[in-house]
Amino acid sequence: MLAIAVMLTVTGCDFFRKLAGRPTSEDIESMRLELLRAEEAAVQSRIDSLRNAEQMMIRDSLNALDSIRQQGGSIRNPAALGGLFATKLEARYYIILGSFGVRANAEALFDKVKAAGYKPALISYGKGNLIAVGVSPVNKITDAHRELKKVKKEPFCPADAWILVNE
């Protein structure tokens, strides 16, 4: 019994773990470090993937902006137009089909667009003096570009349709 007590104090638990074929504290620490390195690599991989996705999204957005400009389209901010007036928009981008000083004219276009299967919105801007008819609310410029190309094929769409940026 005394021999076991002396062995425990001199050799520690690792001696008995080794005799039993179990991992020693050094083995356990090595496995722990290996797991930490693997987790760290997985986190770094996710970060890299997110950065790549973000860069792709930026490239796609810039390409969409270039395409819109090359096709003669324009993108306008409500602040540059006198600001939105009592209108809360649900999305960041709208395709604006027309702006009117007379509400009845805006409502006539609104009805044509609605009859064609779109969900139009009346947007007041410029201190409430103008009413725009907007369609295809989206939150990404690439989607707005796609929608602009689609809407321009419609008979109700004027050649000077533009994109409103709700910032």
| Domain CATH code at residue 135 | 3.30.70.1070
- Collapsed DSSP state (helix, strand, coil) of residue 99: strand
Q: What is the pLDDT of residue 155?
A: 92
Placement of tokens 């395409």 in the chain? 67
Confidence of residue 65 (pLDDT cuts 50, 70, 90): low
Same domain membership, residue 27 and residue 104: no
Q: What span, in angstroms and rounded, lies between the C-alpha atoms of 141 and 63?
A: 10
Q: Tell me, what's the pLDDT at 117?
A: 93
Same domain, residue pair 59 and 89 = no
Asked if 56 and 105 sit in the same domain, the reply is: no
Higher pLDDT, 77 or 137: 137
What local confidence, expressed as pLDDT, does residue 55 receive?
Answer: 79
For residues 94-98, average pLDDT: 91
Residue 9 has pLDDT above 80, yes or no: no
Distance between alpha carbon 97 and the CA centroid of its chain, in Å? Answer: 25
Is the domain of 18 the same as that of 78?
no
Residue pLDDT, tens place only, 48-57:
888 877 777 7
> Are residues 66 and 116 both part of a single domain?
no
Residue 86 shares a structural domain with residue 119: yes
The last residue of one of the domains, among 35, 50, 70, is 70
Going across the sheet that includes 93-100, the strands are 75-76, 162-165, 93-100, 130-138, 121-125
- The answer to whether residue 69 scores a pLDDT higher than 70 is no
Q: Residue 30 corresponds to which tokens in the numbers above?
A: 């090595």
Say if residue 61 is in the same domain as residue 79. no
pLDDT greater than 90 at residue 12 = no
User: Pick from 19, 51, 70: which residue ends a domain?
Assistant: 70
The residue-averaged pLDDT of 82-87 equals 57
- Greater confidence (100 vs 86) lies with 100
- The pTM of the whole model exceeds 0.85: no
Contact indicator for 143, 93 with CB cutoff of 8 Å: yes
Mean pLDDT to the nearest integer, 104-114: 93
Instruction: Report how far Cα 49 is from the mean position of its chain's Cα atoms.
Output: 15
Instruction: Let me know whether 151 and 101 are in one domain.
Output: yes
Does residue 143 sit in the same domain as residue 155? yes
Task: Give the domain range for residue 86.
Answer: 74-165
> Does residue 52 share a domain with residue 78?
no
The pLDDT assigned to 104 comes to 92
108: left (phi over 0), alpha (psi -120 to 50) or beta: alpha
pLDDT at residue 86 is higher than 90: no
| 6 and 79 belong to one structural domain | no
Lowest mean pLDDT among 27-36, 37-46, 72-81, 131-140: 72-81
How many separate domains does the chain show?
A: 2
**Closest Cα to residue 95, out of 157, 34, 28?**
157
Structure tokens at 48: 């890299």
